[in-house]
Structure 1
Amino acid sequence: MHILITVNAAWNIWNFRRSLVEALQADGHRITILAPHDDSVPSLQASGCRFIPLAMDVKGLNPVADFWLMRRFGRHFRSERPDVVLSYTVKNNLFGALAARPLGLPFIPNITGLGTAFLSGGILRTIAEGLYRKAFRHPERVFFQNADDRDFFIQRNLIRTGQAELVPGSGIDLRYFDVAAFPAEEEPPIFLMIARLLRDKGVAEFVEAAIRVKSRWPQARFQLLGALAPENRGAIDPNVVRGWQAEGTIEYLGQASDVRPHIAAASCVVLPSYREGAPRTLIEAAAMGRPIITTDVPGCRSVIEDGVTGYLCAARSAESLAQACLRFLELGNGARADLGRRGREKMKREFDQAIVIAAYRKVLASLEHRFSTDRLPEKNLGSSADVMANVS
């Protein structure tokens, strides 16, 4: 089949879903990527994917801009004539689904997180729920990365129960993220946070917790690894980050194309996020045998066993996070390593990428018999006006 994959950043496919793409290619499918252009595009093209740039405002909540985004999806779908669309991230899921429905185009979204609208609450959440309810009438299957999000969508009647299927995030390549030797006991303990520097990732709480912990354990080090993301409405001001670094509170490591050396050097990986789909950085850390500390919120709590593979703390609470870090520091080095070892075992049981690949292969196999060629029938493709009439 011709499979079109759409997401709000091409690097998302290259970094997180490359194994799925390779598996689908090995099955004989033709892959087209529809996403904003970035530095990962040459790698995607070299791997055999066709790439089409998608113009979209990733952060905006402008109804006019989103209307035109839906129009662009419709034009791309009619032009490319895929047999099925696989989608990730909020806007691609919503407006891609709305554009695919009047074309009769099979559309399989993956809920990687609920986004700022749900975290904000109020009118934004009401609008978002209405959009999801309308957009997700059509898909036969909706993948979720944690049970909390799945149950929320069902309880709020955003989808039907039979549409939902749970997968463990994007899965993890356990060979690539292999176990790393635990840091020696004489080395200063390092708490590493890997995330875009956004408020709803809990960056401020991480910094405040660092201040509290270092007052009792001055040798402890707190590191931030991730993009500054100034285009995002919830981004931390770069000047603020520089101030934290100048004060010696944290070490800002910038970005890294390969996070494994940083995880290997860390004693514990921390993510005090307000909500996630399935936090990739924690899955990678656990796969490499590192204990994790994260918040007791949807997504985050699904990748940890409290007290077994790491520790949970309260969201939006620097004090709770600091207490979890201090609890970790009070352990001997062997006990710390044991947390990481048990985390690796959990990843092997529950988060192997083979589970995700099998789920996609199953749903794609159910569609294959409907197509006699690798293109949609001509009668299914309407005009731009038809798309807008059906959506409205």
Structure 2
Amino acid sequence: MGLIRALQENGHDVLVVAPEDDYTQKIKEAGCEFHPVRMDSRGANPIKDFALTMELRGIYKRINPDIILHYTIKPNIYGTIAASTLRLPVINNVCGLGTVFLQKGLVSKIALFMYKVAFRFPKKVFFQNHHDFDLFLKEKLVKENISDVLPGSGIDLDHFPPSQFKRNKKFTFLLISRLIHDKGIIEYIDAVKKLRSQGVDARFQILGAKDPEHRRGIKTEIIDEWIDNNIIEYLGTTDDVRSFIHDADCVVLPSYREGTPRTLLEAASSAKPIVATDVPGCNNIVENNYNGYLCELKNADDLADKMYTMMSLEDEKIELFGKNSRTKVEREFSEKIVISRYLQSISEFKSLKALNH
């Protein structure tokens, strides 16, 4: 929304193409023209993906934009292919490589091939961390001269102000995520079980949507069992995470891989210490022993140890970690940095277009 407002303030009309959901109304209220698209974000189905390409081509042909900004895997690939057939320029944003790159196999090979085909056409490709940027260059999926690394999607520092430090009587850990395996939910549960078996008296919360339909989703009955056995407090879903972050002592994300995880940016901006996995995306935001702790990938014992170390710290150290989190996002992840790079790319393209005409 920050980028949309900045584009409007710079005299651009913004049209949004997306599946209809709870945010559609907010986009319309922000003065954007909205065009619904049918898109199944779960898994790869060649027939559905071809249909998506044709549907996007139809929309792009109808609205004839000056430039298209794509986010996430399917728009990046199929939207770019659709736009290329109409000679419409695009700027892509690789917000993380998704679950497809976590398992090496036929699906990841196909995804690499599709990226290679689609990424011959963009004017610009933004990456959200250096690992993804390096991987795409190594696999020759994109030309270096059109690629750049952004600090995630940026964070609105005013919308997530630093929380005043206070320690809960019962130390509270919060994990914010969809309930799918690749976010490290099982490792979190196993770590919680281990800590409880050692007599640790703390609160362990999860905030986020159940997604049993997802290929890597966790079955509803398993989640219900965790809730019934008081292993975790399940907080459901929300469209405003600020009060939940504010009430926690530490935010946890044992994810397997990320672009730049928004939940950690929000936690860091709110001046919270973090425990996360030492993987691309998470280790952009968390510096070990500076604003939190990094744990080993898929290692519930190490996660439990880091969580225990965190709650055993003196108040002063926890408060310092929180302040360091805020300092880091102010320095590296402000939304203003992202917006200015987009505006710069768009104005460069406009100058180029004017020259060619």
Tell me, yes or no, if structure 1 residue 33 matches structure 2 residue 16: yes
- Are 2:304 and 1:319 equivalent residues in the alignment? no
Deviation, structure 1 residue 42:
1.1
Question: Could you tell me whether the CA contact under 8 Å between 2:167 and 2:249 is conserved in 1?
Answer: no
Distance 1:126-1:241 versus aligned 2 partners, 3 A rule: same
Between the aligned partners of 2:62 and 2:305, the Cα distance in structure 1 is 55
How far apart in 2 are the matches of 1:112 and 1:319?
29
Match in the other structure for 1:367: 349
| Equivalent residue for 1:116, pick from 99, 109, 112 | 99
Tell me the alpha carbon deviations over residues 265-297 of structure 1, each in whole angstroms, 9 at most, x when there is no partner. 111000000000000000100111100111111
Distance in 2 separating the partners of 1:97 and 1:337: 45
Q: Which residue in the other structure is 1:156 paired with?
A: 139
User: Which string of whole-angstrom CA distances, capped at 9 and with x for unpartnered residues, describes residues 144-163 of structure 1?
Assistant: 00000000000110111112
Report if the CA contact (8 A) 2:246-2:270 is conserved: yes
Alpha-carbon contact 1:85-1:106 (below 8 Å) kept? yes
Q: Distance in 2 between matches of 1:320 and 1:161?
A: 37
Question: For residues 200-226 of structure 1, what are the alpha-carbon distances to aligned partners after superposition, in whole Å with 9 as ceiling and x for unaligned?
Answer: 001011111011122235321110000
What amino acid does structure 2 have at the position aligned with 1:197? L
* Partner SS for 1:127: helix
Identity of aligned residues (%): 41
CA distance in 2 between partners of 1:110 and 1:228 (Å):
26
Cα shift at 1:98: 0.9
Match of 1:334 in 2: 316
Question: Does residue 127 of structure 1 match 2:110?
Answer: yes
Given residue 347 of structure 1, which amino acid in structure 2 is its aligned partner?
Answer: V
Is 1:223 matched up with 2:205? yes
State the 4+ residue runs in structure 1 displaced beyond 6 angstroms: none
Counterpart CA distance in 2 for 1:20 and 1:230 is 32
**TM-score (structure 2 length as normaliser):** 0.97
Residue of 152, 155, 179 corresponding to 1:172:
155
Q: What is the distance in 1 between the residues matched to 2:348 and 2:317?
A: 47
Which one-letter code corresponds to 2:283 in the other structure? R
Deviation at 1:138, TM superposition (A): 1.0
- Please tell me the residue identity of whatever aligns with 1:271: L
Task: Kindly indicate whether residue 216 of structure 2 is the aligned counterpart of residue 238 of structure 1.
Answer: no
Contact kept? 1:182, 1:264, Cα under 8 Å: no
Contact 1:201-1:271 within 8 A present in 2 as well: yes
2:121 to 113, 138, 154: 138
Match of 1:57? 40
- Contact (CA 8 Å) 2:209, 2:237: kept in 1 or not? yes
CA distance in 1, matches of 2:67, 2:298: 40
- Distance in 2 between the 1:177 and 1:345 partners? 13
Give yes or no for contact 1:183–1:266 (8 Å, CA) kept in 2: no
Task: Say how many residue pairs are matched.
Answer: 355
Counterpart of 2:278 in structure 1 is 296
Structure 2 counterpart of 1:194: 176
Residue of structure 2 equivalent to 1:214: 196
**Alignment gaps of 5+ in structure 2:** none
CA distance in 2, matches of 1:136, 1:52: 24
Task: Identify which of 70, 84, 105 aligns with 2:67.
Answer: 84
Does residue 47 of structure 1 match 2:27?
no
Amino acid of the structure 2 residue aligned with 1:328 = M
How far does residue 233 in structure 1 lie from its aligned partner after superposition? Answer: 1.4
Return the alpha-carbon distance in structure 2 between the equivalents of residues 257 and 100 of structure 1: 32
AA in 2 matched with 1:124? V
Q: Is the 8 A contact 1:33 1:52 kept in 2?
A: yes
Unaligned runs of 5+ in 1: 1-17, 378-392
Is structure 2 residue 266 aligned with structure 1 residue 284?
A: yes
2:293 partner SS: strand
- Structure having greater relative contact order (Cα 8 Å, sep ≥ 6): 1
Aligned AA (2:85)? P
Report how far residue 310 of structure 1 moved.
Answer: 0.4
Q: CA deviation at 1:60?
A: 3.0
Which amino acid is 2:191 matched to? A
- 1:163 maps to a residue whose letter is I
Counterpart residue identity of residue 339, structure 1 = F
What TM-score comes out, normalization by structure 1 length?
0.88
Structure 1 residue matching 2:102: 3-state secondary structure: helix
- Partner letter of residue 19 of structure 1? G
2:88 maps to which residue? 105
Distance 2:213 2:66 in 1: 34
Q: Which amino acid aligns with 2:19?
A: P
CA distance in 1, matches of 2:64, 2:353: 12
Once residues 229 and 133 of structure 1 are traced to their aligned partners in structure 2, the CA distance between those partners, rounded to angstroms, is: 30
The one-letter code of the counterpart of 1:297 is V
